[in-house]
Amino acid sequence: AQGDVIKIGLISSLTGAVSTYGQSVRNAVTMAVDDINAAGGINGRQINLVILDDKGDGTEAAQAARRLIDRENVALILGPVITPCVMAVAPIAQAAKVPMLTPTGTGDEITSIGDYIFRGAYKDSFQGRIMAQFAAVNLGLTEAAIIYDVANDYSVGLRNAFKATFEELGGKIVAEESYSTGDTDFSAQLTALAMRNPQALFIPDYYSTAGPILMQARLMGMDAIMLGVDGWDSPDLSALAGGFEEGGYIVNHYSADVDSPVTQEFIARYTAAYGQAPDALAALGYDGALIVAKALEAAGSTEPEALKQALGTVKGIDGVTGTINMDPEGTPIKSAVILQSTGGKWELVDQVDPSGR
């Protein structure tokens, strides 16, 4: 039965507190796989997607990975979604020599676990640096404050990178506050930040938390320039932020203004299929599947060594999040854009060449 289908495993957080992100990824990956299969599959072989839940927990993710590798004999693992799960799965995949690609894992150290580990997203350090450069150079800011989630690796990683670069460029982080995943009240931290009157506030977190922070900050009378990251990208941000994202800047993979029909079509189809517009994680999930498909096609087999080789070298994938070129190190080389929210829409203000990293 090996001959006619290619088995791919997806580990995602379908239940638990981060399920909203996991479900976005699952939805998008399923859509991508259906698309590929409908278009005739890969080199004539259909993809068989096995989806396992990890509940957002590392132990569960490791269990799921073992099962995919040992019992399902998958050719490749897509996922997991959040870093604690990715970090638990990566050593297993590496040891078993089963290539793995996390569409969303951003922690710098992920890909250094081994040569079988790949990702589809930016590294935290890349994105954080881009935003810091933009703030210091393009906006000419000298002072900024940060509010971040100590319990979230993504947030911490971005904060570290932003802080380092911003200070390198002569800026000063005048205040810094943190909170924990699941918090909803940021008034204490924001009051402490407001006391320092920072020029800008960097909020490296997903839209679900960035939204309420933006709103609470503005309602408190804070008038700093708000700086964000790709996690802000969601149609729900505006409602969650009460419209107060207006004027803020984010780093993102793509821009609705400039982009390709691929992006537009994805947004339309995803919305039609799932009753809600895609967020950044959905976009990354879709592209993750595209990268994998392209690599499988290029490798021409499911042989791990070949597949690994292909994953590190596939180029020119026309994804939802822009053109993707993979790198043997495991992280894609993607362009980044800086968007500003104006009149309720994200508009392109700058484009950063990937070599700028």
| Contacts of 43 by beta carbon, 8 Å cutoff, 6+ apart | 296, 297, 300
Question: Looking at beta carbons only, is 63 or 325 nearer to other proteins?
Answer: 63
Interface characters, 287-326, with other proteins (x: CB under 8 A): ----------------------------------------
One-letter-per-residue 3-state SS of 152-216:
CHHHHHHHHHHHHHHHHCCCEEEEEEEECCCCCCCHHHHHHHHCCCCCEEECCCCHHHHHHHHHH
How many binding residues for other proteins (CB under 8 A)? 70
| Burial environment of residue 109 by CB neighbours within 10 A (0 to 12, 13 to 18, 19 or more) | middle
Closest CB 58 distance from other proteins, rounded Å: 5
Question: Looking at beta carbons only, is 104 or 133 nearer to other proteins?
Answer: 104
Q: Can you read off the two tokens belonging to residue 11?
A: 């580990």
Closest CB 160 distance from other proteins, rounded Å: 9
Is residue 151 close enough to count as binding other proteins by CB under 8 A? yes
HSE-up of residue 336 (Cα within 13 Å, Cβ side): 27
Interacting span for other proteins (CB under 8 A) from 1-9, 51-59, 138-146, 332-340: 51-59
Q: Can you read off the two tokens belonging to residue 73?
A: 């004999």
SS3 content of the chain, % helix, strand, coil (to 5): 45, 20, 35
Contact yes or no for 304/98 (Cβ under 8 A): yes
Question: Looking at beta carbons only, is 198 or 322 nearer to other proteins?
Answer: 198
Residue whose C-alpha is closest to residue 296's, from 37, 28, 1, 23: 37
Query: Which 54-113 residues touch other proteins, going by CB under 8 A?
Result: 55-60, 62-64, 66-67, 69-71, 83-84, 87-88, 91-92, 95, 107, 109, 113
E strands along 230-335, which residues?
Answer: 249-252, 317-319, 322-324
Query: Which 221-240 residues touch other proteins, going by CB under 8 A?
Result: 221, 236, 239-240
Interacting span for other proteins (CB under 8 A) from 46-54, 161-169, 251-259, 286-294: 46-54
Helices 207-219 and 187-194, packing angle to 10 deg: 50
Taking the C-alpha atoms of residue 241 and residue 249, their distance in angstroms, rounded to an integer, is: 14
Instruction: Pick the binder of other proteins from 29, 81, 136, 156 (CB under 8 A).
Output: 156
Interface characters, 255-294, with other proteins (x: CB under 8 A): ---------------------x------------------
Taking the C-alpha atoms of residue 201 and residue 307, their distance in angstroms, rounded to an integer, is: 42
Footprint of other proteins (CB under 8 A): 14-17, 19-20, 22-23, 51-53, 55-60, 62-64, 66-67, 69-71, 83-84, 87-88, 91-92, 95, 107, 109, 113, 149-153, 155-157, 177-180, 182-185, 187-189, 191-192, 194-195, 207-208, 211-212, 215, 219, 221, 236, 239-240, 242, 276
